[in-house]
Amino acid sequence: MTVQLKRVYDAPSGDDGYRVLVDRLWPRGLSRASADVDLWLKEVAPSPDLRKWFDHREDRFAAFADRYDAELDGNPAVDELRDVVASHPTVTLLYGAKDPAVNHAVVLADHLRR
């Protein structure tokens, strides 16, 4: 089982395996065809209130990670994502954020690996 992260705006590659978009909102300016998404699992994304509070601010990332991790503990979509990960040798979690280190997909991937 390999879970990797990739910005949805980056070109798809053969190494991506099964591509899962984990954002609640569809990425701006990106057509569904060019995104090459196998599954859009928006229910696994942070709640709208948490997403708005976080606002991709690096100074809030640690607190955001704790809050989002707590949300994931009670989220049934995580079980669906675990099933996807178990049924594919490689799964790429796609996100739209600009910063590859400060985004919810990082927290989600860590949550799945535990």
Report pLDDT for 71: 97
Structural domain boundaries in the chain: 2-113
Say how many C-beta atoms besides its own lie within 10 A of residue 15's C-beta: 10
- Assign 70 to helix, strand or coil: helix
Report pLDDT for 23: 97
For residue 104, which phi and psi values (nearest 5 degrees)? -70, -25
Report pLDDT for 105: 98
**C-alpha Rg value of the chain to the nearest Å:** 13
pLDDT values of the chain reduced to their tens digit, one per residue, 114 residues: 799 999 999 999 999 999 999 999 999 999 988 899 999 999 999 999 999 999 999 999 999 999 999 999 999 999 999 999 999 999 999 999 999 999 999 999 999 998
DSSP per-residue string spanning 1-30 = -EEEEEETTSPP-GGG-EEEE--SSPPTT-
Report pLDDT for 32: 87
Report pLDDT for 33: 85
- Assign 114 to helix, strand or coil: coil
Closest CA to 45 of 66, 60, 23, 61: 23
